[in-house]
Amino acid sequence: MRELDRAEALELLATVSLGRIVFTRHALPAVRPVNHLVDGEDIVIRVHGGGALASLAAPADVPGVVVAYEADAIDPETHLGWSVVVTGYVRPVTEAEDAARYAELLCPWVGRPMEGTLRIRPDLVTGFRLEAAPPAVRALRV
């Protein structure tokens, strides 16, 4: 297992379109699968109006709601791949031009129309890559 630096972790995150957002709902942890895109260092997701994720849109006078976002690509047979976790504040995208651009780039993967867009600004980015052991190490395990 090899730790990833911030740049490599975000680069890998941008190679997949599906992840999981972790947030608090009724004082308990909640997780939802969502599709995303990476814009610079920001993770962007679209949400249904009135849904649990729409409630993450914080009032303008607070810095945002703390969430975690996780995505990975791990081969089920070899168990090799990577995983990235981003922790930061989520805020609604309020700029009309950005919201329109994200609406074009990020199509819903469920049948309901999306009414809002959220942006996660990462404070903490961690990740690891699961790599094959070098031949000498594999030989020692046998």
**pLDDT band with cut points at 50, 70 and 90 for residue 75:** very high
In order, the DSSP letters of 37-62 are EEETTEEEEEE-TTSTGGGG---TTS
Residue found by looking up tokens 């994200």 in the block:
102
**pLDDT band with cut points at 50, 70 and 90 for residue 116:** confident
- The 10s digit of each residue's pLDDT in 42-57 is 999 998 877 788 777 7
How confident is the model at residue 53, as a pLDDT?
81
The pLDDT of residue 142 is above 70: no
Q: Which two tokens stand for residue 24?
A: 């608090």
Residue 142: alpha-carbon gap to chain centroid = 38
Q: Are 109 and 35 in contact (CB under 8 A)?
A: yes
Adjacent-strand bridge partners of 81: 74, 130
Domain 2-141 class in CATH: mainly beta
The pLDDT of residue 138 is above 70: no
How far the first Cα of the chain sits from its last, in Å, is: 19
How confident is the model at residue 59, as a pLDDT?
64
Strand ranges for the chain from DSSP E: 2-3, 18-25, 28-35, 37-39, 42-47, 65-74, 81-92, 116-130
Residue of higher predicted confidence among 81 and 26: 81
The pLDDT of residue 141 is above 80: no
Query: What's the whole-number mean pLDDT along residues 73-77?
Result: 95
How many CB atoms sit inside 10 A of residue 1's CB? 7
